Every structure is written in structure tokens, then in C-alpha cells.
Amino acid sequence: MESLKIIGGNALNGTIPISGAKNAALPLMTAALLTGDTLTLENVPRLRDVRQLAEILVNHGVDYTIAGKRAGQNGAAGQTLNLNAHDIVDTTAPYDLVSKMRASFWVIGPLLARMHEARVSLPGGCAIGTRPVDFYIQGLSSLGAEIEIDRGYVNAKAPRGLIGDRIVLPKVSVGATHTLMMAATLARGETVIENAAREPEVGNLAECLIAMGARIEGIGTDTLYIDGVDALHGATHRVLPDRIETGTYAMAVAMTGGDVLLEGTRADLLESALDILRQTGTEITETNEGIRVSRKAGDILPVDVMTAPFPEFPTDLQAQFMALMTRAKGTSHITETIFENRFMHVQELARLGADIHLDGQVATVDGVATLRGAPVMATDLRASVSLVIAGLAAEGETVVNRIYHLDRGFERLEDKLNACGAEIIRVAA
């Protein structure tokens, strides 16, 4: 099992290209099941989760080709996927595949809409808390699906096709919004999804579906209107920049000091997080090339944060921000409202000398003058990168173990940071 060895203490200076968003690429790949034509996706990141979902789609009969780096191309450029689901040969998504990645459950919407049936394994538990699929099932039932749960599988049928209806999500859910929006594109009549997620990745999927012939209004709001069509066609669509990767590297610069251009990203994707970073004493500047982040002299200032659905501070940046606050001059409070078990990185940060106290869903962080390197263990994707951020500022050597979590969501992380002055070595077990 591989690990990362980090020698801390170096400021970051230079340029970091931002990859396409994993959280946008995955639902976009799933949308290929909605049409027999080719869906071409540009700027797809090279990640383990992308490869895993491609394997799941192949199981359903999807053919795909990859056009990636060629001679003379920038190695940081995203790859292009051509996905064709002309012949869906299997409407079952088995446990051994779905259990590896929760996002694979989303295939239930497109399969049910186009094939009028789907048998998809329940995804099982999650290290950062329970993420039930009740909202998905309730929403698909509202669209006329007959659903039975048997032996760990969701068996869904709609012999005469799905029928549009009004769906009110009990809680904002990005995954349920993705799934129900895809299903509704081929339902008869109009579907209204209320309390829909407003995340940019949802909008990116909606724009792709529109390019495929879907009729969707309300993008960027909490109410989506989908007027079903008989069929969708192929399209070419670009994956938006990864706002979580953007925020992560911005916090790394704030932690270490320095001046870095985050190339190819957009500030409107994470305004709340950037506003919080500015309050810590970090300078954020929008440019034609991306976002420039710099922190010269001066202390890191403490800021209180509460996670919430977009457009508020994202839960996927909570761990990284906590790492930053361990070096703040003063006390900060971080409240997690999305997942009930997303503070597992606290004990690992404490191994580096962080002073953090938990009270339910609130973490109180008393900044310390110095972090010191130590062996630490990654527990999930975002927690693992928070340990990298802490290690960049710690004295001596930090070894982050179980980095397979990192490879699920960050493309070429050590290469990008090392190009800006970090000292990170990937070590094989």
C-alpha cells in the first residue's frame, strides 16, 4: 500500500492547473445510458473513481474510448471520453461493483427511464456517515416506478414508462437530484423537483442533458422543471473545473504562504469558501487565467465556519479548512451540518500537534505555533488531503498512509504541489 512522505516548511509558488470536477464527471458519464448515440465528455479527470464507473458502465453494455494525452500536449489537460450505450445488455448493477463507489447507484435513474427496468444493489455504508437512498426511491416511485427491495437490491420497473410528477425532496441531496433529473428527461409530461440541490455540478449535468435534447428549466435554483421527451441524442459537453480541488490548493497556499495561480478555474464555483479564505488574511484575485492565491507575511487569522449546501461553505472543504485553522492565531469553530461522522481526521491532525476539541458536530480549534511531522492515516478522501495540507506546514517529515483515498479524487496531487516547491515523495509499501 502506497504512502506519501512530506517534508514540510516550503512555501508554494507557481502555477497549479485545476482538473475537471470528479463530482461533475461521474453523473455526466452515467447520463450516457439515456441515449443510444455517443456522448463525448471533455476535460474528464484521470481518477480511480472515473475508471471504476467506466467499468460499471461497461457491465451495462456501454462502449467507451479515451482520447487523452498525445505528443506535445500538456500532461495536465483533461482526457476526453466517448461513451456509447447503443445496446444496453444488462440492467443489473451488481453489489461487487456498486459497493466500491456510491455514485454508481445513480445508474438506476437512466436505466429505469430508458429501459423501463433496473436492478441496482444498495450501496451500503459510508465512512463519513449514512447516506440513505430513500429520497431516490421515493422520487422514482412518484414518477410511477414499481419498486421492491429484496436481498440488498432495489428492483425497479416501469412497464409503461415513467410519468412526470411533482417531487419534493425532504432534504437537499445532490445524488437524488442528479438521479431524478436524469430519470425525468424521458418521463411523459412535466416533472417538478422542489428543494433540489443547487450545486454547480447539478447545473453542469443539466446543461449536458439540454445539449442531448432534454427540456429543463430552473438551473441554479432549488426548483427544477423537466418536460419529458421521447428520446435523447448524442452531444459533446465539457466537465467544469473542480471547485473542491480549487479550494484545497487555495488552502494549501494559505497554510504554507506563497503565491500560486490556480489555472483554469472559476471563482463563481466557490465564492463562499473564497470569502472565508480572505477573512484568514489570504489574498484572492480573479484573473483571465484562473484564480491567484497568495499569503505573504502575517498570521493566519481564525474564522468560524458552518458547512451547508451550495452556495454556502461546502462540506468537502471542511477537513482542509480545519487543517488551516490548526495554525491560526486564535480560536475557530467549525460546525459540520451535512454528515454526522466527518471529523475522523481530528485524531490524525492531533498526532501532528493540533489542538482540537469536539462537541457533537462542532469542532473548536485552538491554533498552535508549530505542527510537527508524524505518521498519520487517511480515513476518507477529504480527510486524507487535509493531512497533506498539515504536513506541508509541519516541521520535519509527515507520512500519510492509505493514500488510495487521495487517488479517488485528486489527479497528480504530488506532481502539482512539487512543481510549486513542495517536497512530496510517493513511497510504495
- CB–CB of 204/197 below 8 Å? no
Instruction: Give the pairing of strands 63-67 and 79-84.
Output: antiparallel
Residues annotated as catalytic (active site), given as ranges? 126
CA distance 9 to 6: 10
**Residue 346 marked in a binding site:** no
Q: Residue 92's closest CA among 122, 114, 119?
A: 119
Element (H, E) at 201: helix 200-211
Residue 174 labeled ligand binder: yes
Query: 39, 21, 43, 20: which is closest to 31 by C-alpha?
Result: 39
Q: Is 365 known to sit in a ligand binding site?
A: no
- CB count within 10 Å of CB 169 equals 19
Cα distance between residue 204 and residue 201, in whole Å: 5
DSSP SS3 for 296: coil
5 annotated as ligand-binding: no
Report whether 394 contacts 348 (CB < 8 A).
no
Contact predicate 31/110, CB 8 Å:
yes
Phi, psi at residue 168, to the nearest 5°? -115, 110
Give residue 268's identity as a one-letter amino acid code.
D
Distance set, CA 178 to CA 293, 301, 410 (Å): 32, 37, 22
The answer to the question of whether 299 is labelled as a binding residue is no
How many angstroms separate the Cα of 64 from the Cα of each of 35, 67, 82, 368?
Answer: 14, 10, 5, 50
The residue with cell 454528515 is 339
**Annotated binding residue 22:** yes
227 is in an annotated binding site: no
Is 6 annotated as ligand-binding?
no
> Packing angle between helix 174-184 and helix 200-211, nearest 10 degrees?
10
The Cα 47–Cα 25 span in angstroms is 10
* Cα–Cα nearest to 24, from 44, 5, 47: 44
171 annotated to a ligand binding site: yes
**Residue that is written with C-alpha cell 471504476 in the block:** 52
Which residues are known binding-site members?
22-23, 102, 171-174, 316, 338
Which residues are known binding-site members for UDP-N-acetyl-alpha-D-glucosamine?
102, 171-174, 316, 338
Which residues are known binding-site members for phosphoenolpyruvate?
22-23
